[in-house]
Structure 1
Amino acid sequence: MPTVEVTDLKDGDFLLDVREDDEWQEGHAERALHIPMSDFVARFGELTEAAPQDGRVHVICRSGGRSAQVTAYLVQQGIDAVNVAGGMQLWEAAGRPVITDEGKPGQVV
């Protein structure tokens, strides 16, 4: 499983958040694309439209389990994807910003 640490992510890296809507609403990374794992196959086209053609997709969830499953699927589809180890829990612990849709400080649940 291709994996990357939160501390290795750069500000411009493309981030795909696969947590459910209620988790996303409590707090997320500012420029992440949100496609819940439960809707992922049906909404796969949104990823292909938004993802950089020559870049990597960094997949994140709460702790790394769901994002690992989505990463494996993307790799099978020929997409350069990596799982973000520790997910949003380590994102928040590393001091990375977590916001709500309104741009206010959020939290990881």
Structure 2
Amino acid sequence: MKKVYHLSTCNTCQKILKELELPDSFELQDIKEEEITTAQVEEMKSLAGSYEAMFSRRARLYRERELNKKELSETDYKEFILDHYTFLKRPVIINDEEIFIGNSKKTVAAAKAAVHG
């Protein structure tokens, strides 16, 4: 499967998608318009190794809900990601059996190499 979970309203996601120059074989899913499903989150977790790896601590709701003051379990991370799209670290790029999560330069470079390599 070749898929990208992103936010169309996010300038960083837009910039990364432009930089990646994805082939037409990739499916894009705007997670604000089309909510991610439990099955999709579980598939991402199977590639990423944990729900925590996909969880965004930069989300405004992270501090608003005072989650930064709590010990979160893997189940908590999964439930928060399913509860609100902002908790998913973006973009998430799935290239067959590889997953690239987030917007760090290193992650984007690795995704670009995998997509075009």
Q: TM-score, normalised by structure 2?
A: 0.29
Normalized per residue, which structure has more helix? 2
Larger Rg: 2
Q: TM-score, normalised by structure 1?
A: 0.30
